[in-house]
Amino acid sequence: MAKARYHHGDLREALLDAAEALVRERGADGWSLREASARVGVSPSAAYHHFGSRDELVRALSEVVLARLGSHLRAAMDATSGHGAERLVACGRAYVTWAVLDPAVARLVFRGGATEPQSAVSPHPHDVLTTELDRLADTGLLPPQARPGAEFVVWAAIHGLAVLLIDDLVHIDDRRDVELQTERLVSATLNGLAQETAPPADRPLPRTAHTQRVAQSQDAGPSPRTFSP
Amino acid sequence: MAKARYHHGDLREALLDAAEALVRERGADGWSLREASARVGVSPSAAYHHFGSRDELVRALSEVVLARLGSHLRAAMDATSGHGAERLVACGRAYVTWAVLDPAVARLVFRGGATEPQSAVSPHPHDVLTTELDRLADTGLLPPQARPGAEFVVWAAIHGLAVLLIDDLVHIDDRRDVELQTERLVSATLNGLAQETAPPADRPLPRTAHTQRVAQSQDAGPSPRTFSP
DNA sequence: CCCAGATCTGAACAGTGTTGAGATTGCGGT
DNA sequence: ACCGCAATCTCAACACTGTTCAGATCTGGG
């Protein structure tokens, strides 16, 4: 392979791959830029022609993996023959199982924080959830008054279980038990939402970090990113 | 203040305080052991007489903060005049609000991972949740068949929202809206649990990382900490 | 063919966690 | 009151980190 070449060819991609492998081997924080560069066979400073900093590498990797997770979720749902709620349960199961099977990478991605607004993380897991809940509302399985913002309730539940597991705050030995627990969680959440009557008039609508430009053009005012304590 | 003294007096506590302040100022990872030592007025190596490593400092700090969160939750529940579900809603509100108001420290603690089994994190947030759900089951608001493991469902939901917010994956501008979203989440989860019929016979019971010695003496076999993929 | 610009190297900088040898101190026993 | 021992802290050093920058090397388009 083009090893002795002065120009690498596709160093950017190679660094992303090496970083991902290192995360998997040594944990989300147990690796260095220099190590990834060395593994690719390149000097440490070469990386700075493709990423402005180590953090930028991490963000780029996060976006790649997040998009992969998105299509994984979609595929898991489509592989289900079930109707209605079963698809959403499959989605949650895929989400949690994915995190548990690749905990280091999951930690990195979930902790990566907000991705760039213009970044094309597609399909974003949140969007997958959103379209599925739309489907449930159309089917009538989810009453219309419970639909707005329901994706955040479901996402919080699923994400919470995944994070509790990969951070070792909760421990489940068997993989099958992880799935059972996830199914219970999603079912309970969905049933709870279905039971909702009229929402309060001022129910808040959260925003995802990967907001698209469309939403930006609507509200001109600068949206504060922090609370005033 | 004993400043020029060779022996500090209570360096361990001082380092914990300095570290917490640094986390709050510069983020969960934006500080160094050396910086904390310098702020306390002590050489970097002095810290190693109280903590085996930087990670050990972080773990110790996590346990302190986690215990503080536990009693904060208990206090928030006791401050509620409401009966039944309202107490649990107050607990969730306190959990999420606490995280959002001190995001850097919350990140550190939640990411700290499993605390030492013998560590006396008391009261642990998970235990607060557990006893409250016991109360709900006793009152009859939560059917008995839904009780086992219900704390993990509720915890996952609450924790998920908190983590999504502090990691900037979801954004809610106003603090009041955070509370409203939390209330919806807890109510929905609890209602969903209340609707549960008989559970599957082999429903898994997760374990918290802060397992107490009692549980250890029951099962003699070594409990594997990882899944086999 | 040739050279502008992208790409990579090498050496350097400040800062990090961690270690080990020695200085300083407080405390319990005589 | 003293001594010695163990706890506590300092100092200097190690290997390693992210990052910068001047210069070497390659590549594609005129």
Q: Where are the domains of chain B?
A: 10-52, 64-200
Q: CA-based angle A122:A205:A155, to the nearest 5?
A: 50
For residues A185-205, average pLDDT: 87
> Is residue B217 scored above 60 in pLDDT?
no
Task: In whole angstroms, give the CA distance from residue B185 to residue A157.
Answer: 9
Q: Which residues of A189-220 are buried (b: 16+ CB within 10 A; e: fewer)?
A: bbbbbbebeeeeeeebebebbbeeeeeeeeee
* B7-CA/D4-C1' distance, Å: 19
Residue A107 with chain B: CB contacts under 8 Å: 111
What CATH number was assigned to the domain covering residues B10-52?
A: 1.10.10
The answer to whether the beta carbons of residues B145 and B197 sit under 8 Å apart is yes
Was domain A62-200 assigned CATH 3.40.640.10? no
List the single range of A193-197, B54-58, B149-153, B223-227 with lowest mean pLDDT: B223-227
* B154-CA/C17-C1' distance, Å: 39
For residues A165-169, average pLDDT: 95
pLDDT of residue B120: 72
pLDDT band of residue A115 (cuts 50, 70, 90) is confident
Q: What is the mean pLDDT of chain A?
A: 87
Q: One-letter amino acid identity for A129? A: L
Task: In whole angstroms, give the CA distance from residue B189 to residue B196.
Answer: 11
> Is residue B190 scored above 70 in pLDDT?
yes
pLDDT band of residue A214 (cuts 50, 70, 90) is very low
DSSP assignment of B10-54:
SHHHHHHHHHHHHHHHH-SSS--HHHHHHHHTS-GGGGGGT-SSH
pLDDT of residue A174: 93
Helices (H), A79-174: 85-101, 103-111, 125-139, 150-166
What residue in A sits closest to B112 (Cα-Cα)? A167
Residues 190-209 of B with CB under 7 A from strand D: none
pLDDT band of residue A221 (cuts 50, 70, 90) is very low
What CATH number was assigned to the domain covering residues B64-200?
A: 1.10.357.10
Locate A52 and state its tokens: 């402005």
pLDDT of residue A1: 42
pLDDT of residue A84: 84
- Candidate from A175, A190, A225 with C-beta closest to B227: A175
pLDDT of residue A199: 73
pLDDT of residue B141: 94
If one compares B113 and A47, the residue with the highest pLDDT of the two is: A47
What pLDDT, in 10s, does the model give residues B27-61? Answer: 999 999 999 999 999 999 999 999 999 999 999 99
Q: What is the CA radius of gyration of chain A?
A: 20
> Is residue A96 scored above 80 in pLDDT?
yes
List the single range of A127-131, B1-5, B9-13, B219-223 with lowest mean pLDDT: B219-223
Q: Is A54's CB less than 7 Å from nucleic acid strand D?
A: yes
Q: Which residues of B68-88 are buried (b: 16+ CB within 10 A; e: fewer)?
A: ebbebbbebbeeeeeeebebb
Locate B154 and state its tokens: 């509720």
* B13-CA/C28-C1' distance, Å: 26
Looking at residue A41, the DSSP 8-state letter turns out to be T
CB contact under 8 A, A184 and B155: no
The answer to whether the beta carbons of residues A160 and B155 sit under 8 Å apart is yes
| B175 C-beta neighbours (distance < 10 Å), count | 14
Q: What is the mean pLDDT of chain B?
A: 87
What residue in A sits closest to B225 (Cα-Cα)? A173
Cα dihedral value A49, A52, A54, A55, nearest 10: -150
List the single range of A63-67, A80-84, B69-73, B75-79 with lowest mean pLDDT: A80-84
pLDDT band of residue B147 (cuts 50, 70, 90) is very high
If one compares A84 and B223, the residue with the highest pLDDT of the two is: A84
- Torsion-angle region of B110 (φ positive above 0: left; ψ -120 to 50: alpha; else: beta): alpha
For residues B87-92, average pLDDT: 97
Closest CA relative to residue B87, chosen from B97, B95, B99, B79: B79
List the single range of A39-53, A57-71, B97-111, B197-211 with lowest mean pLDDT: B197-211
